[in-house]
Amino acid sequence: MKLKPETLQRIDEIIPHYPVKRSAVLMLLHAIQEDVGFISTEAIEWVATKLELQPINVLEVVTFYPMFRQKPIGRRHIKVCRTLSCALRGGYQTCETLEKEFGVHRGEVSADGEVTIEFVECLASCGTAPVVMVDDDLHENVDCARARALAAQIKQEAARRG
């Protein structure tokens, strides 16, 4: 695991903000996931050493929160909301459409390594259901047609990147 110098710098800034080192676990994991994309076993042990904990203490936190990933994901992270409002407005169909477009099952990485689709709990935009997040951007009222357009756009961007 190789962290960027700015991540290392941020981590060293984070730790003294807490009364005990242990409290910084969550923030360190966020910083590492942002940098590397996922939390590896090596990262867990690195955090444990850094905060003077045992690796099991960090593993407990990593597995408790669904937003921490223990495996790498695709370049683009597509999150489709599965909670009540979106489900009532066709969130399931949206998710299935995206799966078909990219030829990948939810939770998996597409063959070209481009996308990972996740069917997640509430994205907090019930008024504009169904909603989809691509990385940090929220897309509202994503019915099947818009889902196809969204997929086309992502593919186009991938092609442009080469």
CB of 63 vs another protein, minimal distance in Å: 4
Cβ proximity to another protein, 15 vs 53, nearer residue: 53
3-state secondary structure (DSSP) of residue 76: strand
Q: List 120's β-bridge partners, or say none.
A: 81
Q: Are 58 and 48 in contact (CB under 8 A)?
A: yes
Cβ proximity to another protein, 50 vs 155, nearer residue: 50
Residue the block writes with tokens 């203490």: 57
What's the rounded Cα separation, in Å, for the pair 61 and 148? 36
Cβ proximity to another protein, 59 vs 87, nearer residue: 59
CB of 95 vs another protein, minimal distance in Å: 22
Q: Which two tokens stand for residue 92?
A: 């399931």
DSSP class per residue in 129-160? -S-EEETTEEE-S--HHHHHHHHHHHHHHHHH
Cβ proximity to another protein, 62 vs 134, nearer residue: 62
DSSP state letter for 15: G
CB of 48 vs another protein, minimal distance in Å: 9
CB of 20 vs another protein, minimal distance in Å: 15
Q: What would the 3-class secondary structure string for 22-60 be?
A: HHHHHHHHHHHHHHHCCCCHHHHHHHHHHCCCCHHHHHH
CB of 71 vs another protein, minimal distance in Å: 14
Please report, as ranges, the residues that interact with another protein according to CB under 8 A: 41, 54-57, 59-60, 63-64
